[in-house]
């Protein structure tokens, strides 16, 4: 089940309780989650855990990019290597194009 991000987790928790969810229980799916933010439902067609968080929590979390410290982005030596590779390819293409116009050398 999903995580719910809201400015008013207490209101969402109360609404879920009214809808038949049990809140303030030990999480069953993602162990280690806060008991106060966990609601569960056991219906015939719907079952699972919901995790309710205050919206400010997500604003404090580091992004995936910050976690990986720039992995997946071009920077430093990667950018330089890409530039050199591009220069070599363009230089070879220019040389090939220039040589295509000349007649072959005769011996």
Distance between first and last Cα of the chain:
78
Domain ranges of the chain: 3-60, 74-100
Number of C-alpha atoms within 13 angstroms, CB side, residue 82? 7
37 burial via Cβ count (<10 Å: 0-12, 13-18, 19+): buried
Query: 7 near 55, Cβ under 8 Å?
Result: yes
pLDDT tens track of the chain, all 107 residues? 578 888 999 999 999 899 888 899 888 888 888 888 898 888 777 788 888 988 887 777 665 545 555 555 556 777 778 888 888 888 888 888 888 876 666 66
Determine the Cα angle at 95 with ends 91 and 99, to 5°: 175
The pLDDT, as a whole number, for residue 35 is 87
The pLDDT, as a whole number, for residue 74 is 56
């Amino acid at each position: 089940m999903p995580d719910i991000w809201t400015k008013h987790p207490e209101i969402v928790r109360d609404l879920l309780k009214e809808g038949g969810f049990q809140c303030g229980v030990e999480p069953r799916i993602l162990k280690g989650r806060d008991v106060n933010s966990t609601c569960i439902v056991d219906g015939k067609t719907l079952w699972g855990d919901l995790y309710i968080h205050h919206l400010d929590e997500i604003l404090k979390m580091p992004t995936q990019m910050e976690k990986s410290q720039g992995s997946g982005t071009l920077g430093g030596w990667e950018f330089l290597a890409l530039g050199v590779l591009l220069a070599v390819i363009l230089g070879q293409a220019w040389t090939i194009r220039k040589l295509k116009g000349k007649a072959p050398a005769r011996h």
